[in-house]
Amino acid sequence: MQNKIKVFLDSGTHSKGRGVGFYAENLAKALENKSAILLTDINPDIIHYPFFDLFFHTLPWKKEKSTIVTIHDVTPLVMAGRYPKGIIGSINLARQWLALQSVSAIITDSENSKKDIEKYLRVSPEKIFVTPLAVDSLYSQEVAEKKLNTVKKKFHLPDKFILTVAGGPNPNKNLPTLAEVTDRLNIPLVIVGKGMLQEIKEPVHPELIDMVRLRVYKHLILPGYVKNDELNALYHLAALYVQPSFYEGFGLPLLEAMTSGCLVASSNTSSLPEIYHDNAITFNPHKLISMEKAIKKALSLSPKAKLTQIDEAKKKASTFSWAKTAKETQDIYNQVIQRTQT
């Protein structure tokens, strides 16, 4: 009988909520269903860090076991002009880069992120493996009319609105452009994310400038953080979900919206084309008129054309699953173990 691969999935302090914590928790659940994997912190064969911070020392230099790290994206390096590193950040980036040199493998969420990790962190492509993410199965479930009404009242939502999920006003999210377009189209914009409610102090940090730019708009609805079941209801209530980003390492909210059956329109940059279907409504996020045309097109679809869009999106979304992510991750573990035995 083949021995199980013992893996310590070391989430550290990054194990709660959406984003990195969502990835670590769902990957752990999926890996627990793999008969050849044993998740343990006792004498593991592999230590897998599901988080890598470019500007904080999160990856140890000394590695007593085969080490794998997941790098979801390198957005601050791709958009360096909007994410100033500073002296301390630059030093920590150098330290993290040095620690990265001795890992056995790097996992990332998309082919686009793989290319950027290779380019900006100067890592051999043979060391980088792509395992796309998936969404919570909750988003494939229908929502009762009572729940829809409750969520609509709770967040004071109008009958027709556009939805986006941003977490916070990060520069890569391109929220001011979406706010400008929806204002011109006279349709309310709901931006979900805890970070959208943060207090902005003077002097404004460069990464928060977009929050200041959003203050001039009166049509925005900012519910803050919402629970998954409420977010699923929002996807069902929205006339359209828009992913306006300049850059994404993956784009989970877009996949959530597609899974839920919400009509979507997406930026055509970075990793996003790896998520949406071939006939999706897309736009150039750097051109306001391109975004405006795409949104107008989506909102003016005939019932038949809208249903076709939603069906194609659901079909594409169904190709992503945590079972698939776990299988591909297990394959990487096997390769790492085989290397150590040769």
Contacts for 264-267: CB closer than 8 Å, 24+ residues apart: 264/240, 264/298, 264/309, 264/313, 265/240, 265/241, 265/294, 265/295, 265/297, 265/298, 266/242, 267/174, 267/243, 267/291
Q: From CA 83, how far away is CA 63, in angstroms rounded? A: 30
pLDDT tens for each residue of 267-312? 999 999 999 999 999 999 999 999 999 999 999 999 999 999 999 9
pLDDT tens for each residue of 188-212? 999 999 999 988 777 877 778 898 8
Give the mean model confidence (pLDDT) for residues 64-68: 95
pLDDT for 179 beyond 90: yes
Q: What is the pLDDT of residue 184?
A: 97
Give the mean model confidence (pLDDT) for residues 96-123: 97
pLDDT for 84 beyond 90: no
Can you give the pTM of this predicted structure?
0.94
Position 122: which residue type? R
Q: Which residues are paired to 38 by β-bridges? A: 6
pLDDT for 39 beyond 90: yes
Q: What is the pLDDT of residue 204?
A: 75
pLDDT for 176 beyond 70: yes
Which of the two residues, 327 and 13, has the higher pLDDT score? 327
Domain 5-134+321-335 has CATH 3.40.640.10: no
Q: What is the pLDDT of residue 92?
A: 94
Domain ranges of the chain: 5-134+321-335, 137-317
pLDDT for 15 beyond 50: no
Q: What is the pLDDT of residue 2?
A: 60
Phi, psi of 62 (to 5 degrees): -85, 130
Q: What is the pLDDT of residue 208?
A: 82
Percent of the chain with pLDDT over 70: 96
From 241, 153, 144, select the one nearest 192 (Cα to Cα): 241
- What does R_g of the chain's alpha carbons equal in angstroms? 21
What are the C-alpha distances in Å from 315 to residues 46, 140, 330?
35, 11, 25
Element at 267 (helix H, strand E) = strand 264-267
Going by pLDDT thresholds of 50, 70 and 90, the confidence category of residue 1 is very low
Give the mean model confidence (pLDDT) for residues 46-51: 95
- Select from 3.90.700.10, 1.10.10.60, 3.40.50.2000, 3.10.180.10 the CATH code of 137-317: 3.40.50.2000
Q: What is the pLDDT of residue 241?
A: 98
Going by pLDDT thresholds of 50, 70 and 90, the confidence category of residue 138 is very high
pLDDT tens for each residue of 180-189? 999 999 999 9
Give the mean model confidence (pLDDT) for residues 215-230: 95
